[in-house]
Amino acid sequence: MRLSDERKKLLWGAAKVFREQFEGSPAEEYLVGHRCLDQETAERFSLGYVGDSAPSGFEQYRGTVAVPYLRRGALGAWSVVALRFRCVRPECVRDANGAFLDEETHAGHGKMQSMAGDTHRIYNTLALQQESDEIAVCEGEPDTWTAVMCGLPAVGIQGVKGWKSHFDKLFVGYRRVWVLADGDEAGREFAETVARRLPSGLVVPFDSGMDVNKTYKNHGREAVLNKVGKG
pLDDT tens by residue, 149-200: 999 999 999 988 899 999 999 999 999 999 999 999 999 999 999 999 999 9
Separation in Å, CA 161 to CA 170, 180, 193: 18, 16, 9
CATH 3.90.980.10 domain residues, the chain: 5-114
CATH 3.40.1360.10 domain residues, the chain: 125-227
Q: What is the mean pLDDT of the chain?
A: 95
Which pTM does this prediction carry?
Answer: 0.95
125-227 placed in CATH 3.40.1360.10: yes
* Beta-strand runs (E) in the chain: 48-49, 64-72, 78-87, 112-114, 134-139, 154-157, 176-181, 201-205
5-114 placed in CATH 3.90.980.10: yes
Q: Give the pLDDT of residue 1.
A: 62
